[in-house]
A and B are shown apart, each in its own frame.
Chain A
Amino acid sequence: MKKQDKSIDKASQELLEIAEREGIDTAWERYEAMVPQCGFGELGLCCRNCLLGPCRIDPFEEGPQKGVCGATPEIIAARNLTRMIAAGASAHSDHGRDVAHTLLLAAQGKTEGYGIKDEDKLLSLANELGIKTNRRDKKEIAKEVAEKVFSEFGQQHGELQFSHRAPEKRQALWRKLGIMPRGIDREIVEVMHRTSIGVDNDPENLITHGMKTALGDGWGGSMIATELSDVLFGTPRPIRAKVNLGVLKEDEVNLVVHGHEPTLSDVIVTASQDKELIELAKKNGAKGINLAGICCTANEILMRHGIPIAGNFLQQELAITTGAVDLMLVDVQCVMPGLSSVARCFHTKIVSTSPKAKFPGAEHVEFNEEEALPIAKKIVRMAVENFKNRMKEKVNIPKVKMDLVAGFTAESVFKFLGGRYRATYRPLNDAIINGRLRGAAAIVGCNNPKIKQDWGHVEMAKELIKNDVLVVVTGCSAIANAKAGLLKPEAAFQYAGKGLQEICQAVGVPPVLHVGSCVDNSRILITLCNVVNEGGLGEDISELPVAGAAPEWMSEKAVAIAFYVVASGVFTVLGNPFPILGSREVTELLTRRLTEVVGANFAFESDPIKAAQLMIDHINKKREALKLKPVMYEKEEVLVK
């Protein structure tokens, strides 16, 4: 693979060349070595769920067609996919649980590292959860909120509180289908039970429960993570920042945070501004302490503090290849075990912090919320002290960085639409109704060496905004689009259609809006509910002219997200297919029949332009069904057709 085929990112290309020269293995080389990947795995036809197996089904129908237990390709593919949902939902939910735990400790006064930054949000959450707020101390309220939220994880019956935010019609559908989630953990446990040997052997029944589990993520675990993070660390507001590996500094201590949970990265922000530590850095010959991030923990501190982002998922090894990272701090999720072998070629220290996630070759400094600040300071000090070990001749920081605006939320962005004193979604709904905007789309998800890095995200976003579709992004997709310059307000003039341009100009926002980390996809759900509630665009999310996509997905978390988005009524296009194509029935269910069940389905398309066209076609169909006016600035040739 040539470097141009690996990534569209100039910084990545530059460092890939260095990696090749120095004989440093990255995910791309490991992927190439892995090709051809196992066809059974790719097709979803291998089952390792019991020791009658491992079994696999011959897709050419000459070898075995049933597992030892008698499982058909349909059963095997459905079981495997449902387990992927459970794993993804577990990751998001455990993240949410940790944030709830931190809120509880903060409320009990057991930690000095955290406080309550957004009191308004705390009060509105308390009201929603039926907790009294009158003349009560905010810590008391926070304690009760945390405990109420905690109980949602282990809840055995009833309904998740935040699922009641969904439009009435959607809630009724979930109840009718029996997919209203009861408790976050319960649904996940049930997946593991159902998919074990000899339990649920009906593909549709399995996928249906998969959707229930995913809803417990989107409207449970993830939403809890987002809401409580806002309470603890502040609800983001639009903020300027910089992105890409060029944010690393040659003359400063570079500390890179990588992983997902804001509980640690947020206190690292405080610790890195500690006067004593900055003095120490200067004593060590550095001009200061430079903090940057990778993956979603980066998005968390970008959204709230404007901390620069060094890169997305596939750039974690390349960040170390710059030779300028003095310490990379990791917590959980999407952290490659390959990091430490790259780090061995440089002076970089990898520090793992979560008791849940240890890495070979990494130093472990265990984090706990009670002593958050002292631990954060200890890690920053380690970075500062490692600065002197940096090998000057090995430092190669690409001069590539980009400006961006981030920090949009369900609360903030549309406040601007309605003006500072009259926050309302009316102008947004009107823009869609009168055809200035065709609709809206979310591009989310990972990087994957199977698709040229960032190419899927960026090309798709460009195609959508060109066609007057407002785009919201999260996670590694947000970072990809930021690097390509699409998160600058000026991008509207360069790339957006006329209608979207007018909106961006009037409101002063970029055509592509960064709404946060991957758990913050819940912000998109809330936004959709608000749009439905504002009126004029139908009564359910499935009626809205919107679509979702994950063009470069790889993580099980992406599977959980994709399922809660579809189960909430949004058509979703995936760059790589789910590993289920070995089963005709499951493929048919997901790509067609699901529409009749939940009002939305999946499509698999690896070409981002073609995928964007599928989304635009879907949006057009929804506009037609709502009998909306034609799109204001529809291109002539399209009208002629």
Chain B
Amino acid sequence: MEKIFCDIRKCLGCKSCEIACGVEHSTSKNIFKSIREEKKPRQRVIVRSTTKEPFPLRCHHCEEAPCIEACMSGAMYKDEKGVTRHDPDKCVGCWMCIMVCPFGAISRQESLALKCDLCPDREDSFACVEACPTKALFAGTWDEFKKRLGQEKR
């Protein structure tokens, strides 16, 4: 399946992906308007660093997803393409998914869990990948990503 990967050697920690994700999940989808919206849009990717090297933290849509295992209400589920989905109508806000996620990729919006939904309003692109100025973020299959890493000079 097509996923988002990151070549962390190229991540500068500019947080452009965060901004783009926030704008994408706003009503207006416009940076100047989105920051003034009554319900502040929330980004689902967050740039963190352990020592000095930054990297974007977001849902990896794991094949064996611990969040689905842990979800008691069935709000977390796999769709037909293998994407890990979250159904806000079923979510009870027990935060078990947050507890078990090995990446720390799930956050909260009020009483509901919040995670990467692979930009449902877009046809064939992802806001974060598009915004990444160093092309550290990459959309494709695992094999395509591996091939790309092999082609890199660095």
Contacts and interface: CB of A to CB of B under 8 A. Distances in A.
Contacts of B10: 60, 62
Contacts of A36: 12-13, 15, 47-49, 52-54
B134 A63 contact: yes
Contact of B134 (A35, A37, A62): A62
Nearest to B13: A36
Nearest to A63: B133
A60 B9 CA distance: 10
Chain B contact-residue range equals 10 to 19
Interface in A1-42: 35-40
Contact of A59 (B47, B53, B134): B134
Contacts of A60: 10, 134-135, 154
A37 B47 CA distance: 10
Nearest to B55: A36
Contacts of A58: 133-135
Interface string B99-114: 0000000000000000
B31 to A, nearest CB: 11
A64 B49 CA distance: 25
Interface string B126-141: 0000000111000000
Contacts of A35: 13, 49, 54
A37 B154 CA distance: 23
B14 interface: yes
Contacts of B14: 38-40, 56
Interface string B16-29: 00000000000000
A58 B14 CA distance: 11
B114 to A, nearest CB: 20
Contact of A56 (B13, B15, B47, B133): B133
Contacts of A63: 133-135
A36 B54 CA distance: 6
B13 A37 contact: yes
Interface string A38-51: 11100100000000
Counting chain A CB atoms within 10 Å of each CB, the highest count among B13, B133, B135 belongs to B133
Contacts of B49: 35-36
Interface string B24-54: 0000000000000000000000011100111
A58 B53 CA distance: 17
Contacts of A59: 12, 134
Contacts of A64: 133
On chain A, which size bracket covers the interface? 10 to 19
Nearest to B10: A60
A38 B135 contact: no
A40 B133 contact: yes
A40 B10 CA distance: 12
A63 B131 CA distance: 11
A35 B48 CA distance: 7
A56 B48 CA distance: 21
A58 B133 CA distance: 6
Interface string A62-83: 1110000000000000000000
A35 B47 CA distance: 9
A40 B52 CA distance: 15
Nearest to B154: A60
A40 B135 contact: no
A77 to B, nearest CB: 15
A42 to B, nearest CB: 8
Contacts of B12: 36, 38-40, 43, 59
Which among A56, A58, A60 has the highest number of chain B CB atoms within 10 Å?
A: A60
B135 A62 contact: yes
B41 to A, nearest CB: 20
A188 B134 CA distance: 34
Contacts of B53: 36
A37 B49 CA distance: 10
A60 B8 CA distance: 12
A62 B10 CA distance: 10
Contacts of B52: 36
Interface in B77-108: none
Interface in B50-83: 52-54
Nearest to A37: B13
A40 B19 CA distance: 15
Contacts of B48: 36
Contacts of A40: 12, 14, 133
A30 to B, nearest CB: 16
Nearest to B9: A60
A38 B14 CA distance: 4
Contacts of A56: 14, 133
B140 to A, nearest CB: 16
Contacts of B54: 35-36, 39
Nearest to B49: A36
A39 B132 CA distance: 12
B63 to A, nearest CB: 29
A270 B52 CA distance: 49
A375 B133 CA distance: 53
Nearest to B54: A36
A60 B13 CA distance: 13
A43 B52 CA distance: 15
A59 B49 CA distance: 19
Nearest to B132: A63
B13 A39 contact: yes
A449 to B, nearest CB: 14
A36 B154 CA distance: 22
A43 B133 CA distance: 14
A158 B10 CA distance: 50
A39 B15 CA distance: 9
Nearest to A39: B12
Kindly list the 4 A-B residue pairs having the minimum CB-CB distance in the complex, ordered from nearest. Answer: A39-B12, A36-B13, A36-B54, A36-B49
23 contacts: A35-B13, A35-B49, A35-B54, A36-B47, A36-B48, A36-B52, A37-B13, A38-B12, A38-B13, A38-B15, A39-B12, A39-B13, A39-B54, A43-B12, A56-B14, A58-B133, A58-B134, A58-B135, A59-B12, A60-B10, A62-B134, A63-B133, A63-B134
Given A39-B12, A58-B133, A60-B10, 14 more contacts: A35-B13, A36-B15, A36-B48, A36-B49, A36-B53, A38-B14, A39-B14, A39-B54, A39-B134, A40-B14, A59-B12, A59-B134, A60-B154, A62-B134
